[in-house]
Amino acid sequence: MNNIKKNRIFDQLFKFWGIACTFLGLVLLIIFIGSIFIDGIQRIDWDFITNLPSRKAERAGIYTALMGSVWILLLTTIIALPIGIAAAIYLEEYAKESKLASLLEVNISNLAGVPSIIYGLLGLEVFVRILQMGASVLAGSFTLALLILPIVIVSTREALKAVPKSIRDASFAMGASKWQTISKQLLPASFGGILTGIILALSRAVGETAPLIVIGALAYVPFAPASPMDEFSVLPIQIFNWISRPQHGFEVNAAAAIIILLLITFIMNSIAVYFRNRWQKRLK
């Protein structure tokens, strides 16, 4: 058998192997989502979304948990965004080659790998106890903000790095200061990339359960939070709580809540993709 033939067979083999691997993940996901849909879709109606929690499965709704998730998302964004972007700008544009920068860099990469429950413990000690925020939305948001900061920083840095050096040169050569170059050229040019990273980080935050349980988010909260200092629950905790109940009705509720949660992440990811494409088009 000559080499050309052998290469071609290897080519084909690898192609099929690749296809099989791609579909394995996809098929499993479809089976999972399909079974959830079959279980939960009939439970989803307007009442399910607007009802407060209840002991009776058929009357229980996700309103408090959904509102808790929305609060958490908003506050986490407000906290993590400016800090993350500013840190990324510092590391990428100012600190570039210093020893301090490389030390920080290693640590940030390490932080991205720390299990989320550890962040929960940190949040419990620092925000709930020392800063006396209690088991509030605010404490939860700070904790999640810490959790996603490394992701925001890394993705913002990548986006800044992707701006060609020629743009920086051009801006400096026109007499722009460093800050003018950053604010008028680099940030606008990398906005799409930064936004994508942030939305992906947030869609991770919306699914986090462990750190919030640790800081004391409750499975049962009678009312939706009205201020950042209120107690709260979030969708994943609600799901976790319902699944652990013996009655079949709650299982259906859990499936329905999962659909809502998936929908939220799906919408967020779509927005991220939309913005990325729009920005790429604008740059062309």
Q: CB atoms < 10 A from the CB of 98, how many?
A: 11
Q: List the one residue from 42, 107, 180, 277 that touches another protein (CB under 8 A).
A: 180
* CB of 51 vs another protein, minimal distance in Å: 49
Number of residues that bind another protein (CB under 8 A): 21
Nearer to another protein, 7 or 177 (CB): 177
Distances (CA, A) of 118 to 50, 87, 103, 132, 178: 33, 22, 21, 19, 38
CB contact at 8 A, 142 and 123: yes
Q: Work out whether 247 is an interface residue with another protein (CB under 8 A).
A: no
CB contact at 8 A, 200 and 159: no
Q: Work out whether 31 is an interface residue with another protein (CB under 8 A).
A: no
* CB of 274 vs another protein, minimal distance in Å: 19
Task: Name residue 160's amino acid.
Answer: L
* CB of 15 vs another protein, minimal distance in Å: 36
Q: List the one residue from 98, 177, 247, 277 that touches another protein (CB under 8 A).
A: 177
Q: Work out whether 284 is an interface residue with another protein (CB under 8 A).
A: yes
CA distance 221 to 69: 13
Nearer to another protein, 176 or 213 (CB): 176
Q: Work out whether 274 is an interface residue with another protein (CB under 8 A).
A: no
CA distance 222 to 174: 60
Task: Write out the binding residues for another protein, residues 42-101 only, by CB under 8 A.
Answer: 97
* CB of 198 vs another protein, minimal distance in Å: 20
Nearer to another protein, 37 or 172 (CB): 172
Nearer to another protein, 116 or 181 (CB): 181
Which residues on adjacent β-strands are paired with residue 231?
Answer: 136
Q: Write phi, then psi, for 231 (nearest 5 degrees).
A: -70, 160
CB contact at 8 A, 219 and 240: yes
Q: Work out whether 102 is an interface residue with another protein (CB under 8 A).
A: no
- Structural Rg of the chain based on CA atoms: 23
CB contact at 8 A, 185 and 171: yes
Q: List the one residue from 41, 78, 103, 174 that touches another protein (CB under 8 A).
A: 174
Task: Write out the binding residues for another protein, residues 144-173 only, by CB under 8 A.
Answer: 164, 166-167, 169-173
Which two structure tokens, joined as six digits, stand for 248?
A: 């079949």
Taken as a whole, the chain contains a residue count of: 284
Instruction: Name the residue with tokens 């720390």.
Output: 114
Q: List the one residue from 31, 86, 114, 283 that touches another protein (CB under 8 A).
A: 283
Task: Write out the binding residues for another protein, residues 181-200 only, by CB under 8 A.
Answer: 184-185, 188-189
CA distance 251 to 55: 13
* CB of 264 vs another protein, minimal distance in Å: 32
- Residue 98, classed as helix, strand or coil, is coil
What residue ranges bind another protein (CB under 8 A)?
A: 97, 164, 166-167, 169-177, 180, 184-185, 188-189, 282-284
